[in-house]
Amino acid sequence: MYYFEDTTKKVHKDDLILPSSAMMYDGVYLEKMIDGYRTLAVTGREMLSLDIETQETQVGSIKLNQKLPARTIKVSYQLIGNDAKDIQKKYRQLMHLLYKESDVEIRFKDELDYHYHGQYRTTDDVRGDTNNIIASFEILCTDPKKYSVLLKTDGAITTYLPYHTAPEKIAVTIAAFGSLVITNGAKTIKITSYNLSAGDQVVFDFLKGKVFVNELDQTFLLDLESDFENFSIKEGQTVQCNNGKMTISYREVQL
């Protein structure tokens, strides 16, 4: 795949026609931040191989364990500069944008409804004798899964969820003075040793592992036998709440 730039015509960054596989890294397209940068191809977003541990037997083998390995996404790109000094300037810009000390959200133009979590890890060696460079770099996603936009429901789970899915948050506006019990039919989250008041806002934040009542951390109110840490949802379930109006926020998980 080749890309030719008309150097006689300047195009505003907001008017750029982005490649279908253009990467949005931590909220920005690299094409819109660096003149002369263009995504050529992306690999590593397709099927993911499994790590399956087996033990050989006299006939075949026995499966002992199955793991999902980290995902590596490889981005091939072209970078065009006016001269060697301009190329070095653009690589400083690129490194500034890519270098992070923790995972960021990563989206691709052809699938904006889903995102990965990852960070820049390594790059190809780059030729030093040209101002028109084609090379690649890699993004490491220690969590190999991709996540949909945030979905919300008042209890009925109708989304296709082929993999284990935990909610991000469950928010409840308490209806009457008393306890709170939330169940998916198999797992239960309970606050029964403390009476909540009508109008209280209770948020079970599964990402932080905390429970907030009126924006204050009140995790200690959870019953000890609650299934808060391993509460999950799946297609076809109806999550029920005994006291108040509930909103469940979650994301579809895909490989």
Distance of CA 75 to the CA centre of its chain: 18
Average pLDDT over residues 28-45: 95
Report d(CA 166, CA 117) in Å as an integer.
16
Which SS3 state, helix, strand or coil, does residue 34 take? coil
User: What would the DSSP string read from start to end of 212-231?
Assistant: EETTEE-GGGS-TT--GGG-
Q: What pLDDT is attached to residue 25?
A: 97
Q: Which residues contact 123 (CB under 8 A, 6 or more apart)?
A: 135, 136, 137, 138
- Can you give the pLDDT at residue 44? 95
- 132-145 per-position pLDDT tens digit: 999 999 999 999 99
CATH architecture of the region 149-254: Sandwich (2.60)
User: Taking the model in full, what pTM does it have?
Assistant: 0.78
pLDDT digits (tens, 9 = 90+) for 142-200: 999 999 999 999 999 998 888 889 999 999 999 999 999 999 999 999 999 999 999 99
Cα–Cα distance between 48 and 137 in angstroms, integer? 19
For residue 160, the model assigns a pLDDT of 87
125 vs 171 pLDDT, higher one: 171
pLDDT band at 8 (very low <50, low <70, confident <90, very high): very low
Note the pLDDT of residue 13. 52
Strand intervals (E) in the chain: 23-25, 28-29, 37-43, 51-56, 61-67, 71-80, 104-108, 114-123, 132-141, 146-148, 151-153, 169-173, 178-183, 188-196, 201-205, 210-213, 216-217, 240-241, 245-250, 253-254
Share of the chain above pLDDT 90, in %: 82
Contacts of 175 (CB under 8 A, 6+ apart): 198, 243, 244, 245
Supply the pLDDT for residue 163: 85
Rg (CA), the chain: 24
For position 15, what pLDDT does the model report? 54
pLDDT above 90 for 130: no
pLDDT tens sequence across 48-83: 889 999 999 999 999 999 998 999 999 999 999 999
Q: 109 near 20, Cβ under 8 Å?
A: yes
Average pLDDT taken over every residue of the chain: 91
Q: What is the mean pLDDT of residues 34-58?
A: 93
pLDDT at 212 over 80: yes
**What stretch(es) of the chain map to CATH 2.60.120.860?**
149-254
Q: DSSP for 80-105?
A: E-SSHHHHHHHHHHHHHHH--SS-EE
Q: What's the pLDDT score for residue 10?
A: 46
Of the pLDDT bands very low, low, confident and very high (cuts 50, 70, 90), residue 11 is very low
CA 217, CA 203: separation in Å to the nearest integer?
A: 9
Instruction: Please report the pLDDT score of residue 127 as a whole number.
Output: 82
Architecture category of domain 23-144 in CATH: Beta Barrel (2.40)
Indicate where the chain has its CATH 2.40.30.200 domain(s): 23-144
Among the listed residues 36, 23, 255, the one whose alpha carbon sits nearest the alpha carbon of residue 137: 23
Rounded to the nearest 5 degrees, what angle is found at the Cα of 231, between the Cα atoms of 226 and 233?
145
Question: Average pLDDT in the 28-48 region?
Answer: 95
Q: Which two tokens stand for residue 165?
A: 């899915």
pLDDT band at 7 (very low <50, low <70, confident <90, very high): very low
CA–CA separation, 159 vs 253, rounded Å?
Answer: 10
